[in-house]
Amino acid sequence: MTNILDFVIGIDIGGTNTVLGAVNRDGELLVEQSLPTWAHEEPEKLVARIYENIEGLRRELTVARQLRGIGIGAPNGNYYRGTVENPPNLSWKGVIDIVGLFRKYYQVPIAVTNDANAAALGELLFGLAKGMKDFIVITLGTGVGSGIVANGQLVYGVDGFAGEIGHTIYDPEGRQCGCGRKGCLETYASAGGICRTVFELLSERKEPSELHRYSFEELTAEVIAEAAKRGDPIALEAFEFTGKVLGFKLADSVAHTSPEAIILHGGLANAGNLIFAPTKKHLEENLLPIFRNRIKLLPSGVTGGSPAVLGASALIWKEMEQHA
Ligand SMILES: [Zn+2]
């Protein structure tokens, strides 16, 4: 049985920063810290620095609490093998036994999964998906990730890599993707994807746009969202097109697992109705009739801390529930 004073460490390993926090069973973040990932460094060194930070966090806890486990969200994290495998945005090569590296310091349950799966578990335990058995979380960030929950369980697939909706293909003749293929959803609906859309529109259109003054290096999804809020026609059309592609592909995802809801996370989702309205419209237009007018399209309901850290902690809380 878990105790009110128990806590889990949730860790979100990103390409730039690693964030970790102590989280209780109610999804309350007790303390949080951030450290630079230094992506070129060996994973052993990062884990050693994370260990120092965890011990620092434990000293900050005002009452004696028991550490019940460590949950890690990382790019290409593999839950089955406890590994991080050829992660994008980190220079780690091959298969890294990340759980094994943490085992040198801790003897509590330790598990890893990819960041989108962690986000889905966060929604299931602490967010809008409480009580739902079937839903999908889509992370619209540097890439497009997805965590699929079906029949109350995260879908891992035979090898732990299930849920790559970001690399399902929208247009086989479309944009070059980092995975080596063409036209993946990620090349349109990621932060970089909407920037590519803006530059395509700027080269085709004559109408004035404040986005003309940005170079490709300077343009960000936030800049486009701000311009759209001021009524910039190119920015508005870029959001419309992004929502069209996303809604179209999500209609396919609905056919696979018949979810109750789709929850959008990440930078682009913060643009609110700019992305939600066109996504909803094109989702509905492309759904099989039996699914129409019943799929909820929602923003994240995980609050009070980094959804990625809370989600990583949920990985351990969920395991403890299952073994109780
Ligand atoms: Zn791809």
Half-sphere exposure at residue 312, Cβ-oriented, CA atoms within 13 angstroms = 33
Least confident window among 172-176, 242-246, 307-311: 307-311
pLDDT of residue 65 exceeding 90: no
Query: Measured in angstroms, how far is the CA atom of residue 194 from the centroid of ligand 1?
Result: 15
* Mean pLDDT (the chain, rounded): 94
Query: Measured in angstroms, how far is the CA atom of residue 31 from the centroid of ligand 1?
Result: 36
**How sure is the predictor about 43, in pLDDT bands with cuts at 50, 70 and 90?**
very high
How far apart are alpha carbons 19 and 229 in whole angstroms? 31
How far apart are alpha carbons 50 and 70 in whole angstroms? 11
Query: Measured in angstroms, how far is the CA atom of residue 168 from the centroid of ligand 1?
Result: 7
Mean pLDDT of 274-295: 98
**How sure is the predictor about 162, in pLDDT bands with cuts at 50, 70 and 90?**
very high
pLDDT of residue 89: 74
pLDDT of residue 138: 97
Mean pLDDT of 48-60: 95
How far apart are alpha carbons 14 and 33 in whole angstroms? 14
Output the 3-class SS for the chain. Answer: CCCCCEEEEEEEECCCEEEEEEECCCCCEEEEEEEECCCCCCHHHHHHHHHHHHHHHHHHCCCCCEEEEEEEECCCEECCCCEEECCCCCCCCCEECHHHHHHCCCCCCEEEECHHHHHHHHHHHHCCCCCCCCEEEEEECCCEEEEEEECCEECCCCCCCCCCHHHCECCCCCCECCCCCECECHHHHCHHHHHHHHHHHHHHCCCCCHHHHCCCCCCCHHHHHHHHHCCCHHHHHHHHHHHHHHHHHHHHHHHHHCCCEEEEECHHHHHCHHHHHHHHHHHHHHCCHHHCCCCEEEECCCCCCCHHHHHHHHHHHHHHHHHC
Query: Measured in angstroms, how far is the CA atom of residue 182 from the centroid of ligand 1?
Result: 7
- List beta partners, residue 66: 6
pLDDT of residue 1: 58
Query: Measured in angstroms, how far is the CA atom of residue 192 from the centroid of ligand 1?
Result: 13
Query: Measured in angstroms, how far is the CA atom of residue 77 from the centroid of ligand 1?
Result: 17
Q: Residues of the chain with pLDDT > 70: what percent?
A: 99
Query: Measured in angstroms, how far is the CA atom of residue 25 from the centroid of ligand 1?
Result: 36
Q: Are 316 and 111 in contact (CB under 8 A)?
A: yes
Least confident window among 103-112, 163-172, 233-242, 301-310: 301-310
Select the more confidently predicted residue: 16 or 249: 249
- List beta partners, residue 6: 66
Q: Residues of the chain with pLDDT > 90: what percent?
A: 85
In the structure, ligand 1 is a single-atom ion and the residues with CB under 5 Å from it are: 167, 177, 179, 184
Query: Measured in angstroms, how far is the CA atom of residue 183 from the centroid of ligand 1?
Result: 7
Helices 273-286/233-257 angle, 10° precision: 50
Tokens of 47: 């884990």
pLDDT of residue 2: 66
Query: Measured in angstroms, how far is the CA atom of residue 178 from the centroid of ligand 1?
Result: 6
Query: Measured in angstroms, how far is the CA atom of residue 57 from the centroid of ligand 1?
Result: 38
Q: Are 134 and 149 in contact (CB under 8 A)?
A: yes
The tens digit of pLDDT for each residue in 5-40 reads: 899 999 999 888 999 999 999 999 999 999 999 988
Half-sphere exposure at residue 59, Cβ-oriented, CA atoms within 13 angstroms = 7
